[in-house]
Structure 1
Amino acid sequence: MTRRIPRFTPFRAAMFAIPAAIACLALAVFLQPGPSQGAQEDDMFGAADLQDLLAAFEDEPFARPSGPWSVSLPRDYGAHEAMRGDTWMMALHLEDEAGTRIGMTFGLVRLGLRAQAPGSQASPWALRTLYRGHLSLAEDGAAALEAEERFSRGAGAAGADSPSRKLWLDDWQIDYGGASAQEGLTLSASANGLPVRLHLSPAKAPVAMAGDDGAPVRGFVIPRLNVQGTIGKAEAERRVHGVAWLDRLWGDLPLPGGPLSNQRLILHLDDGTDLTLLRTQRSDGRGLATVEGLAVFPDGEALPLPPDGPGAIDMTATASWTTQDGSATYPVAWQLTGPGLDLTVAPMIENQDPGFALPGWIGAVTVSGRHDGVQVAGMGTLQMTDGSAP
């Protein structure tokens, strides 16, 4: 394969902007005081104003990443509980035995609200940690997706246990119990009572997020994992297979807000290339959009994609979908062009608004076109947190 996308900038935390914004805004929604909450919680957690809440959240003295670092698996699959937060996001692109395409996203977030002093004994009822999880599942030909969102305090119903190598939120669980990184992860979850059990084994090495010592966040992606498992139960159970992308981040999660709109694509092409792109523009539509990302080739070579210059990728919206109440319009179809690249991205189904606490569109897409002069096809995931026009 001709490598015409040049090395330009290091892989950055920008790829994680959407999952982290979802996490922090979902935190604010969850912590809005109910009828009896205000008298029972302290001032930090009784704040009704989002800015007050975020300021209190930001002032807590959590540990920060420091010192030399490289990805260590399976350890770094697990939580870094001394730090403010962890995120796990999986984009899965699957088929069942009949060839029906299925797109799925799974996300889990751990957010520390109050740091624990060394040597102190935490009350099991203290509100110190919040977990948020989401699962969405879209099937080719369906009218809409199956989606579910959950919240929990980290007091037994949700948690992370490093010795047993498990993460859980109610009966949703990520098990990374293998002694070797190649043994991968097992995901057990459900959406509206539809059970999912999948095993993900890395097909490519992790790509570390670049950052100097003292950077507020660290993380990595595994751009391609092979997936085997089942969806459904009893006589309706189906065996599925496919590929997945894993984002993993820990440290001081970026806070939401600001004047920018983001659209992120994660694509798996059938020539073995994996691609993620983040398009950023002013929410009011003014100014030029920037697109940056990462390409990982079949041999595992990872090349960052520049926001400008000779290797830049252009990401142009070609069709939109509007919610039934007209409150938001999402650009759901795209044309990607750049050196050696001409791809058409289309939604698997248009209505992939999951109805989560934070409005957005998180959905499965199909991709076709040409890469380095060769016809390619594939599947992907498109994530958007607002309905701004492109």
Structure 2
Amino acid sequence: MNNMKQKKIFSISALVVIAFIILIGGAFYLTLWAEATATEESEISAVLKREERTVFDPVLPSEHVSLPEDFRFHPNYQHEWWNYFAKLQDQDGHVYNVQWSYFRVAIDERDTRGWQNPQLFISHIVISRGSHIWREQRVARGGIGQAGMSNRPFRLWIDNWYWRALGTTPFPGQLEISTDTFGLELNTTTNGPFVVNGDKGFQVKHALLSVSSFSFSAPFLNVKGTITLNGQSISVTGSAWTQKEWGSGLIGEDQQGWDWLVFNLDDGRALTVSRYRQNGQVPHLFGTLSTRSGTVFNLTEKDFSITPMQVTSLANGRRMPLQWIVNVPKHGINLTTRISKSDMWQPFLIPYWEGPILASGSNEAWGFMQLTGY
């Protein structure tokens, strides 16, 4: 009799959990597809703002990024985000751009296993070649083995998508993505130093000190592997850029969104610049310039300017500044960007414009751009 009662209680609990997941998933997908009327503030802020009733570790200036230790999972913080950008070529010179993101957000601060685990995992993959684009998204709950991270050896996964390595860091490592229509297997190795952003990894992202994060990047990466498109396996080689960021509450109360551009310059330097926009205030600017020898320059609004030059209307009605001038006078950098494809709006659970860019001027450069809040 007790077993029957336990089974009945378990069944009711399971149904409640499933109903909750369906409700949350439905809300996400309503946001996802209601592009014509939804505002970016509700799409981005609803996920990245810190809830007052939750308690996560604060991002403090007294704490610093330590490598390789901080390749690990940071469950005490609300958010954790990996970005991987790659520019690849096949033997015929055709260019393939790869964008992969792996995002973790905690619904609350509980440390529980199973279906009550509060961690939500989201991963996106986008491959573009000329006017063609392939993309897919995976969403999973933590605590049930469907998604997660291990450190020894290093492994990120969601369903049958993996980043795995033999050691405790991602490099050398392999990104393996398989979908019903396309896939890839990319082996990535370092070709230069890791770069710690901000003040030893502590990066202010808002005029208020309370909105900050920890971050570091690997802008000097070599890639070799295969991309499978339309049933054809294509050997590719090229370069890549990876960034990891974590914190608690990455969006301020009045924040509209951000503009983030990363570049690999033809002289071997790597540049990243960000412009965080908020209502009633001038944008907050920050960036990092790094070299293969290990020299790192942290950039503030006094060191550079980033100016939108052209606004483009997308097919979904959004208007985006897709051309920019980036000027870093002290370091002799003046770049005018251009996009490869304008319609790179990514209609994911966390939606934004993201795609490859090229730049010319003081240097020739390739890179990627991410725009939110428009």
TM-score, normalization by structure 1: 0.73
2:327 to 337, 341, 349: 337
Name the counterpart of 2:84.
90
Name the counterpart of 1:322.
313
Does residue 256 of structure 2 align to residue 260 of structure 1?
yes
Name the counterpart of 1:152.
140
1:112 to 106, 114, 120: 106
CA distance in 1, matches of 2:369, 2:295: 23
Q: Do 1:279 and 1:292's aligned partners in 2 also have CA atoms closer than 8 Å? A: yes
Q: Do 2:357 and 2:366's aligned partners in 1 also have CA atoms closer than 8 Å? A: yes
1:125 to 115, 121, 144: 115
| Partner amino acid, structure 2, of 1:193 | T
| Partner amino acid, structure 2, of 1:102 | Y
Does residue 189 of structure 2 align to residue 201 of structure 1?
yes
Q: Which runs of 5+ in 1 are unaligned?
A: 1-27, 35-47, 371-375
Q: Within 5 A, what are the aligned runs for 1:228-267?
A: 228-232=224-228, 236-255=232-251, 258-267=254-263
Name the counterpart of 1:165.
154
Secondary structure at 1:254's aligned position in 2? Answer: coil
Q: Do 1:358 and 1:385's aligned partners in 2 also have CA atoms closer than 8 Å? A: no
| Partner amino acid, structure 1, of 2:190 | P
CA distance in 2, matches of 1:68, 1:254: 17
Secondary structure at 2:262's aligned position in 1? Answer: strand
| Partner amino acid, structure 1, of 2:337 | V
2:216 to 220, 233, 240: 220
Secondary structure at 2:115's aligned position in 1? Answer: coil
Distance 1:81 1:218, change over 3 A: same
Distance 1:90 1:304, change over 3 A: same
Secondary structure at 2:267's aligned position in 1? Answer: coil
Q: Do 2:117 and 2:141's aligned partners in 1 also have CA atoms closer than 8 Å? A: yes
CA distance in 1, matches of 2:268, 2:372: 28
1:187 to 169, 175, 180: 175
2:93 to 94, 99, 115: 99
Distance 1:116 1:162, change over 3 A: farther
Q: Which runs of 5+ in 2 are unaligned?
A: 1-22, 30-41, 203-208
| Partner amino acid, structure 2, of 1:299 | S
CA distance in 2, matches of 1:256, 1:105: 26
CA distance in 1, matches of 2:161, 2:79: 19
Q: Do 1:30 and 1:151's aligned partners in 2 also have CA atoms closer than 8 Å? A: no
Name the counterpart of 2:294.
300
2:343 to 336, 344, 351: 351
Measure how far apart 1:226 and its partner are. 1.4
CA RMSD of aligned residues (A): 3.5
Distance 1:185 1:338, change over 3 A: same
Measure how far apart 1:152 and its partner are. 0.9
Name the counterpart of 1:16.
none
Distance 1:56 1:364, change over 3 A: closer
Q: Deviations over 1:274-331 (max 9, x none)?
A: 1111124456xx87555431111232211112202xxx323232333212242x1111
| Partner amino acid, structure 1, of 2:308 | A
CA distance in 2, matches of 1:50, 1:319: 24
Larger strand fraction of residues: 2
| Partner amino acid, structure 1, of 2:373 | D
CA distance in 1, matches of 2:231, 2:47: 48
CA distance in 1, matches of 2:364, 2:263: 10
Name the counterpart of 2:270.
274
Q: Do 1:160 and 1:166's aligned partners in 2 also have CA atoms closer than 8 Å? A: yes
CA distance in 2, matches of 1:182, 1:90: 12
Measure how far apart 1:231 and its partner are. 0.7
Name the counterpart of 2:19.
none
Distance 1:291 1:190, change over 3 A: farther
Identity among equivalent positions (%) equals 22
Distance 1:191 1:146, change over 3 A: farther
CA distance in 2, matches of 1:316, 1:91: 23
Distance 1:125 1:187, change over 3 A: same
Measure how far apart 1:81 and its partner are. 2.5
Q: Deviations over 1:61-101 (max 9, x none)?
A: 3445677654222x432312343332111122222222222
Name the counterpart of 1:72.
67
TM-score, normalization by structure 2: 0.76
Q: Deviations over 1:345-390 (max 9, x none)?
A: 11011111122234421011112221xxxxx323110100132xxx
Q: Do 1:293 and 1:304's aligned partners in 2 also have CA atoms closer than 8 Å? A: yes
Bigger RCO (CA 8 Å, 6+ sep):
1
Q: Deviations over 1:135-159 (max 9, x none)?
A: 22222x21x5322222110122111
